[in-house]
Amino acid sequence: MNLVRNVFRPSPTMVLSLVAVIGFYISIYLYQYSSLRVGRVEPTEVLRPTPPGDNTGGAGGRRTYINMVLVLQTGVVLTFILLPFAISTYRNRAVLNRLDHRVSYGQMIRDQLLARKNTANKTTSTFESRLLQRFPHLTANDLKICSLLRQNFSSKEIAEKLNITPGSVNTARYRLRRKLALPTDTNLIVYLNKLV
């Protein structure tokens, strides 16, 4: 189940811009509530150059200006500290989305395979029960080979499935024909398909 399908996904540029704005506002907040500032001074007064020879508040204005520059530099540093964190978060989200997609795809494939297997097992079990009713002396291995032959598997494919050699499959087919008392002119696969 994909839980993050309809969620807004910002671009990396939007994330970087947001981090920069947040860093700037954090620096303004720190400046306003820090003990470094000297009274309330309008930014236009701080940025206005002090005329030469004016000693009325030039030192306080300069100190406020220096404090403001320091706080802004702190904001820039905070922005560059938060920037890699924001980028890694964005990349991790993309990786998680890809993993979520792969997991949901894998679950879908697994469900399809289980449905096919259940269908095949139901038909195989009814076939095997009917075969056992007619021929109760068949072994479990004989039943496996009969069900695989009925599904049109070749001797080589049956050998791979049962982990035996193709020669052993041919021997098992010969013994199966004897147990079912089939004449030599009757095809084993056709006979097994008619039993259903």
Query: Residue 176: which of 168, 162, 122 has the closest Cα?
Result: 168
- Residues 83-106 pLDDT 10s: 777 777 777 777 778 888 888 888
Task: Read off the pLDDT of each residue in 187-193 and give the average, rounded to a whole number.
Answer: 87
- Percentage of the residues of the chain whose pLDDT score is greater than 70: 64
Burial label for 184, CB within 10 Å (0-12, 13-18, 19+), is: exposed
Model confidence pLDDT, tens digit, residues 46-72: 555 556 555 555 555 556 666 666 666
State the pLDDT at residue 1. 47
Q: Give the global pTM.
A: 0.40
**What is the per-residue pLDDT for 156?**
92
Mean pLDDT of the chain, nearest integer: 75
Residue 166's Cβ-count burial label (10 Å; 0-12, 13-18, 19+) is middle
Q: What are phi and psi for residue 167, nearest 5 degrees? A: -60, -40
pLDDT level of residue 169 (50, 70, 90 thresholds): very high
Among 11-15, 76-80, 107-111, 176-180, name the most confident range. Answer: 176-180
Which percentage of the chain shows pLDDT scores above 90? Answer: 12
For 135-194, give the CATH class.
Answer: mainly alpha
List the chain domain ranges. Answer: 12-107, 135-194
- DSSP, collapsed to helix, strand or coil, labels residue 53 as coil
